Structure 1
Amino acid sequence: MNNLAQERKYRKLITALSIIIPIAVAALFGINLRKLGFDVEPFTFLPPIYATINGVTAVLLVAAVVAIKKGKRKLHEKLNTLAILCSLAFLLMYIAYHMTSDSTSFGGEGVIKYIYYFILISHILLSIAVIPLVLTTLMRAKLGDFKKHRKIAKITFPIWLYVAITGVVVYLMISPYYV
């Protein structure tokens, strides 16, 4: 299969995942298994774990950039693969937490409340936007189109890094209000 045909195939998959993942997360976010009568323990232990995973993702992303700048392409590839796996682990834990636990409201007042919601909303919106960016960046690398890979990676990297870091910040800001 030539690159153009492979790219079309990948594009369809990227488009599907970029639509399905946010819709699935939003749908599952609204389902609380305990409130539906299922006898499950709440996964209240997960937020610090998935916040840590966001922090690890940020470190992996920075390390991947350092690796490629030093010409270590295989290391760069491995670090980015780990970052993708960390993001996937975060997503699964986030869904599991929200499907078994009551949502926590931010209790801060005044300016800090506006800062929190700005960070939270920008985090959520950019976490949706980063899905097709990460997948397209990955596709470009897998197809060996490194000129286009570098071009989109320059957009993907800061957004993905922002999402990873703000995931930690959101957790730190809301953690005092967990029950």
Structure 2
Amino acid sequence: MAEHINLIEKKEPYKKLIVTLSIVIPVVVAILFGMPKVEGYDFSFLPPIYATINGLTAVMLISAVIAIRNGKRQLHERLMKTAIFLSASFLVMYVIYHLTSESTPFGGQGTIRYVYFFILITHILLSIVVIPFVLFTFVRALSGNFERHRKLARITFPLWLYVAVTGVVVYLMISPYYS
């Protein structure tokens, strides 16, 4: 039994940490929305910045896929590390903004309202789902397990790209309603 556990840990290094982060991050963000806002700080400038970061993340992801398809492994690695850094930066800014600011309600009416909420809900759900995918894909590459990395990356890429692009779309749709 202990040998089986050691074999799993060798195949999936950092599995416990990734699972923990994949649970803790969404829970902390959810708790954040129920907390009283920290007064005295104005971070209203952050939404366009973190929307831009989402856009840059999408560019990094697409560029990384192009790089690896052209055999540029080192460039691919740098682009992916940049995408992870950008996503982490987004998360920090998103948390800071929502700790200090009330959520902005969407003011659109009619069909656009349903479109907005569909995009927002799928964005939120997939942003939770993508966390372990990104982390496991990254760790598999770092550990040199490229076959398993490629298999998981085929799932991770479209999920992560959807989250990055819809982050920009959500911002563009709600930005007229920021006060």
2:14 aligned counterpart, secondary structure = helix
Answer with 135-144 or 115-124: which moved more: 135-144
For 2:12 and 2:151, locate their aligned partners in 1 and report how far apart those are by CA, in whole Å: 19
Contact 1:61 1:83 in 2 (8 A): yes
Task: Specify whether residues 65 and 8 from structure 1 end up closer, same or farther in structure 2 by C-alpha distance, changes over 3 A only.
Answer: closer
Letter in 2 for 1:136: F
Could you tell me how far 1:103 is from its partner in structure 2?
1.1
> What is the deviation of 1:41?
1.6
User: Percent identity at matched positions?
Assistant: 62
Gaps (5+ residues) in structure 1? none
Residue of structure 1 in register with 2:3 after alignment: none
Structure 1 residue 143, shift from structure 2 partner: 1.4
Query: Per-residue displacement from partner, 1:18-44 (whole Å, max 9, x unpaired)?
Result: 00010011112322433xxx4x22211
Q: Contact 1:3 / 1:143 at 8 angstroms: preserved in 2?
A: no
Q: Residue 29 of structure 1 aligns with which residue?
A: 33
**Given residue 79 of structure 2, which amino acid in structure 1 is its aligned partner?**
L
Instruction: Output aligned runs, 1:1-179, within 5 Å.
Output: 4-34=8-38, 38=39, 40-179=40-179
- Give the structure-2-normalised TM-score: 0.93
CA contact (8 A) 1:29 1:95 kept: no
RMSD between aligned residues: 1.4
1: CA distance between counterparts of 2:11 and 2:17? 10
Question: Could you report, residue by residue, the CA deviation over 1:54-83 in whole angstroms, capped at 9, with x for unpaired residues?
Answer: 000000000000110111111101100000
Unmatched segments (≥5 aa) in structure 2: 1-5
Cα distance in 1, alignment partners of residues 81 and 143 from structure 2: 16
Instruction: Please identify, of 92-101 and 24-33, the stretch whose mean Cα deviation from structure 2 is larger.
Output: 24-33
SS at match of 1:102: coil
Separation of aligned partners in 2, 1:26 and 1:71:
40
> Structure 1 runs of 4+ off > 2 angstroms?
2-9, 29-34
Q: Which whole-Å deviations, capped at 9, do the CAs of 1:57-114 have from their partners, x for residues lacking one?
A: 0000000001101111111011000000100000110111111112100000000000
**In 1, Cα distance between equivalents of 2:11 and 2:25:** 20
Give the Cα separation in 2 of the matches to 1:136 and 1:9.
9
